[in-house]
A and B are shown apart, each in its own frame.
Chain A
Amino acid sequence: MNTAFARKLKENSTAFSFLFPFLAVFSLFLIFPIVYSLYLSLCEKSGYSIAGLKFVGLKNYQALFKDAEFWWSLLMTFYYALLTIPAGIFLSLMLALLLNNRLPGKLFFRSVFFLPNVLDLLVVGIIWKLLYTSGGLVVTAMQYLGFGMEGGILGNPWTALPGIALAMVLKGSGFGMILFLAALQNIPESVFEAAEIDGATGFECFRHITLPLLRPIMLFMIITGTMAALNTFTEIYAMTDNGGPVVLFGKHTLGATKLTGYYLFSKWENHQYGYAAAMSYVLLVVTVAISLFNSWLLRRKD
């Protein structure tokens, strides 16, 4: 055996002994499930044990494509993304602009705005439920101002999802703020000085210098925001019961806050693991499609 080969073998064996614990968990719980999920989506539960399964072919997918509730949940997910993403970008950018200076105490405010990001989502949801409940502070204040809210904000199909979105935007905006702040501080002062000499107003500077430079961050926030909407579960679970106030659409009974994540969970709760796995796969395809579209968009802009 030549020495180069022996050295290579030794390097490989040390490398894999360092990699082993990570790779073992990674393959069993992050790689294998992708394949296994495909198999599960072709099965349905049978018998009394929790995970007893029987092969049924494409039945779950056929049922899923005819399932009005699934399409509704997808629609509501995109509605939720539409409610949270632009508002989130706007508030984060505003906070970043307010803090992009040498104001004493700036770091204190930065921490205050960021803090809600690290706090437990379920608990934050429950606190907002208290504020939004009928007789709660927000509803009482609105009644005082002349807006009656029968059943509270979360009991009304029109206000339930926007109410949740508002709570989440306030919780999450500190994150985008940090990203915007980092980008703002990367813009050299000299650019603005030059523009000022050329007679640009403050707004023109913002419109033509700052905003284009912040574009990659906005795009990043749109991508992560869409992914987050597809993952949304906990805040819905915390704030509304069984997918929220009922919406009647034709002969279908739908939930105003039943996003895909919650619908998936409700299928799990009913032990419809095969159906839920099929749904996961369709959502995975949707996610990959969105990611590809976004990266295409990103490349086109460059």
Chain B
Amino acid sequence: MSVKGKSKAIWIQRILLYAALSIIGLLVMFPFIWMISTAFKVKGYALKFQLFPHNLNDLQTMFTIRNFIDVWQGMEFSMYFLNSMFVAGMAAFFATFFASLAGYAFAKKDFWAKEKIYYLLLSTMMIPGMMYMIPQFVIVVKLGWYNTYKAMIIPHLASVFGVLLLRQFIETIPESLLEAARIDGASEWQIFRKVIVPLAFPVIATLFLMTFLFHWSNFLWQLVVSDPGLTRNIRTLPVGLALFRGPHGNEWELMMAASCFSILPIAVLFWFAQRFFIEGMTQGAVKE
């Protein structure tokens, strides 16, 4: 084949590849496109399809920002949004902090029953989360934490995955660096703050994003520990949306507008920090 013919074949191959990728990409993204377009429709128009507006009147039924205003102000989704931010932010901060401390101890310290404790950690990873729901719920109720932020946050502050991740990274930090700091008179805490944390920062950031994401979507647990009748003021976004569905199940335009408040911030965050997300989420798997 001539050089020209070959480059032409490559171009055809590329165009086919782009076509296939675009079709699958559209299919994967379609629900979210549909969510946004429905959120902009006038009430009662969610199930009326029209690809192109025929006249000005049609256009007006396809574009309004009324739903966003209603949901954000009238239906307290602003409060749910802030609650979700608070719960996910606090949980992510403390879970990451605790995991970093423990990861440092596992990586650089020698202590009693170290291997046994480590195996205990590993074995809890095999237990599906659903199995923890009942005992954790009863414990939370007995502690008097039912219907509080504490109940949503504290039971999930021990991130075993985080400890494994941090241990693995901190082990690669040379001992000589810590020894040098020790000779300079640094305390253990200072070594952790001034040496370990800055060096492990990318891993810590990854873990923070992972745990934030987990708590942003930790619907079942947040539903279980809050009484629907009592806890409007600590309700999180997914729980708010689920309970909103009851009385407003057919008002799809409002539900989609509310959904945007959960989806769009995470999508934007993902787009700017995707390296951390993808690495963090697939880390455990690739190591198998």
Contacts and interface: CB of A to CB of B under 8 A. Distances in A.
Interface of A: 11-12, 14-16, 18-19, 21-23, 25-26, 28-34, 36-37, 40, 50-51, 53, 94-95, 98-99, 101, 103, 105, 109, 111-124, 126-128, 130-131, 133, 135-137, 140, 167, 170, 173-175, 178-179, 182, 216-217, 220, 224, 227, 230-231, 233-234, 237-238, 260-261, 264-265, 268, 273, 276-277, 280-281, 283-284, 287-288, 291
A120 B263 contact: yes
Contacts of B110: 11, 15
B95 to A, nearest CB: 9
In the complex, which of the residues B24, B94, B132 has the most CB atoms of chain A within 10 Å of its own CB atom? B24
Contacts of A37: 131, 134-135
Contact of B47 (A136, A284, A287): A136
B20 A98 contact: yes
Contacts of A109: 21, 25
A291 B128 CA distance: 11
Given A123-B259, A130-B256, A30 B128 contact: no
A36 B262 contact: no
A237 B242 contact: yes
A113 B217 contact: no
Contacts of B120: 31
In the complex, which of the residues B127, B155, B281 has the most CB atoms of chain A within 10 Å of its own CB atom? B127
B206 interface: no
A127 B38 CA distance: 10
B81 interface: no
Contact of B17 (A23, A98, A122): A98
A256 to B, nearest CB: 19
A22 B126 contact: no
In the complex, which of the residues A109, A112, A118, A174 has the most CB atoms of chain B within 10 Å of its own CB atom? A118
Contacts of B98: 21-22, 25
A217 B284 CA distance: 12
10 contacts: A19-B102, A31-B124, A111-B270, A120-B238, A131-B31, A140-B49, A230-B128, A280-B130, A284-B128, A287-B128
B204 interface: no
Contacts of A137: 34, 49
A175 B128 CA distance: 19
Interface residues of B, number: 89
B271 to A, nearest CB: 7
B104 interface: yes
Interface of B: 14, 17-18, 20-21, 24-25, 27-29, 31-32, 34-35, 38, 46-47, 49, 94, 97-99, 101-102, 104-105, 109-112, 117, 120-121, 124, 126-139, 141-142, 146, 154-158, 160, 163, 188, 192, 213, 216-217, 219-220, 224, 237-238, 241-242, 245, 252, 255-256, 259, 262-263, 266-267, 270-271, 274, 277-278, 281-282, 285-286, 288
Contact of B133 (A12, A94, A268): A268
Given A111-B271, A175-B281, A284-B131, 15 more contacts: A18-B102, A19-B105, A23-B158, A31-B124, A32-B135, A32-B139, A98-B17, A105-B18, A113-B28, A119-B267, A170-B27, A216-B288, A268-B134, A268-B137, A280-B135
Nearest to A273: B134
Contacts of A111: 270-271, 274
A260 B139 CA distance: 22
Contact of A118 (B104, B124, B213): B213
B135 A103 contact: no
Given A117-B281, A137-B34, A233 B188 contact: no
